[in-house]
Amino acid sequence: MLSEKSRPYIDASVPVLREHGVQITRLFYRNMFEEHPDLTNLFNMGNQAKGLQQQSLASAVFAYAANYRNSDVLAPVLTRIAHKHASVGLTSAHYPIVGKHLLAAIATTLGTAATPELMAAWEEAYWLIADELIAAENNLYDHAGTPPSHRNTMRVTELVAQAEDIISLTLKPESGELPASFYPGQYVSVVVELRPDVYQQRQYSLSDAPNGKDWRITVQREKAVDENPTGVVSNWLHDNIQVGSTLRVSQPFGDFTPSLKGADPIALLSAGVGITPMISVLNSLAIQKPDRKIIFAHAAKNHACVAHLHDIKIAGKKLRRLTPHFYLESGETAELLAGISAQPGRMDAGDLVAQDSDLAEATFYLCGPLPFMQAQRTSLLAQGIPVDKIHREVFGPDLLDHII
């Protein structure tokens, strides 16, 4: 609990962070990487180049400043961060380094406004957050039964082209042991060595139901668009991996784990490669809840970009109350599966609710680009869907727009 002495200084920081948050975090990352270049092997340098990681950290700092009295708001944010940290192998030894450079960046950016009292308040706040994250991450490592640095050596046993620039890789432990189980919706980190002693790791959702034999991930080749650079790791995987290749892969992590136990309708809404965790959930429901009402809605640029149609076809034979909807931004109309055509235009989740009264009681799960999820969330709220019935998975840094 933040001390009474520090609270006025944190409260006063809210407008300052709104104005200078990205500037502070940009300086923080630059100075930290200059002093500790080895940390570039842990952090996603693609997101650094895009500026997304800086925006994400700024929004997390601001979210704390604006909500530190409200544990119900902060708890799920810290849980998501802890899972992401565990997936890349962050440890308690990293937190003093992060704290030193974050506080120094605040002091440098604010100049004379960074009084000793303000900086003492933020040091207290930082370590309150850090201690919570350290404890949560240690619990995750204990549950996984592996140390933070552990990576499974997995062999690629199958490679399937799922759609244009999207492949799936089936992975089995090279040791011959059975892979760890996971919850549908979780992800793993994949480590690649781009050149000698230069590593990067990325998170990929497990894209099939747990089966006790292998894991499957799905990777979209990220091309350079506008000012966004080419996805280094995704392109490396597309260009270098074949059946028989090995990869270093973390244990499964992630808090986006839709409940499969309920009887209420469930709506899985995705766009682009955000379909991958939804396929894991869909295939799991086909095994565990074949009578549950499911809305599976997916948006893509065009028909060639719709992945995992075979999974949807097979699941549809088992799920007696599955209703699929597809949307193509290109404006084209295409028959994707027998008797199932895609609609031209963009998805509007509110329209789905308006057309089906049962969805007033549904739980909604969203995954895709942030603008897509923001639009669907707004549309669902406008239809009266309670906020606690809307959940989302963010690929990459979260800007926490839903709480700030």
- Angle, CA of 64, 67 and 58, to the nearest 5°: 30
pLDDT one-digit tens code per residue, 16-35: 877 888 888 889 889 988 99
Strands of 70-209 (E only): list them: 152-163, 166-173, 187-195, 198-205
Q: How far apart are CA 231 and CA 92, in angstroms?
A: 29
Q: Which of 132 and 54 is assigned the larger pLDDT?
A: 132
Least confident of 11-20, 87-96, 136-145, 317-326: 11-20
Q: Return the CATH number of 152-249, one of 2.40.30.10, 3.40.640.10, 2.70.98.60, 3.40.50.300.
A: 2.40.30.10
Residue with tokens 């350079």: 224
Residue among 127, 125, 107 at smallest CA distance from 67: 125
Determine which one of 137, 141, 183, 187 is catalytic. 137
Where does the chain hold its CATH 3.40.50.80 domain(s)? 266-393
Which amino acid is residue 250, in one-letter code? Answer: S
What is the separation of C-alpha 313 from the centre of its chain, rounded to a whole number of angstroms? 26
pLDDT at 139 over 90: yes
Question: Phi first, then psi: what are they for 128, rounded to 5°?
Answer: -65, -45
298, β-bridge pairs: 270, 326
pLDDT one-digit tens code per residue, 185-243: 999 999 998 888 888 899 999 999 999 999 999 999 988 666 566 788 999 999 999 99
pLDDT at 246 over 90: yes
Please give the pLDDT value at position 68: 80
Q: How far apart are CA 32 and CA 100, in angstroms?
A: 9
Q: How far apart are CA 107 and CA 24, in angstroms?
A: 9
pLDDT one-digit tens code per residue, 282-300: 999 999 999 999 999 999 9
- Topology (CATH) of 266-393: Rossmann fold (3.40.50)
CATH H-level, domain 7-144: superfamily: Globins (1.10.490.10)
Where does the chain hold its CATH 1.10.490.10 domain(s)? 7-144
Which amino acid is residue 94, in one-letter code? Answer: H
Q: What contacts 400, CB < 8 A, 6 or more positions away?
A: 56, 59, 60, 62, 63, 77
358: alpha, beta or left? (left if phi > 0; alpha if psi -120 to 50): alpha
| Percent of the chain topping pLDDT 70 | 92
**Side-chain half-sphere exposure of 109, counting CA atoms within 13 A:** 21
User: Is 117 known to be catalytic?
Assistant: no
Do β-strands 363-367 and 335-337 pair in parallel, antiparallel, or remain unpaired?
Answer: unpaired
Q: Which residues of 36-61 are buried (b: 16+ CB within 10 A; e: fewer)?
A: eeeebbbbbbbbbebebbbbbbbbbb
User: Is 29 known to be catalytic?
Assistant: no
Determine which one of 95, 183, 204, 365 is catalytic. 95
Residue among 225, 221, 96, 72 at smallest CA distance from 161: 221
Please give the pLDDT value at position 399: 43
Where does the chain hold its CATH 2.40.30.10 domain(s)? 152-249
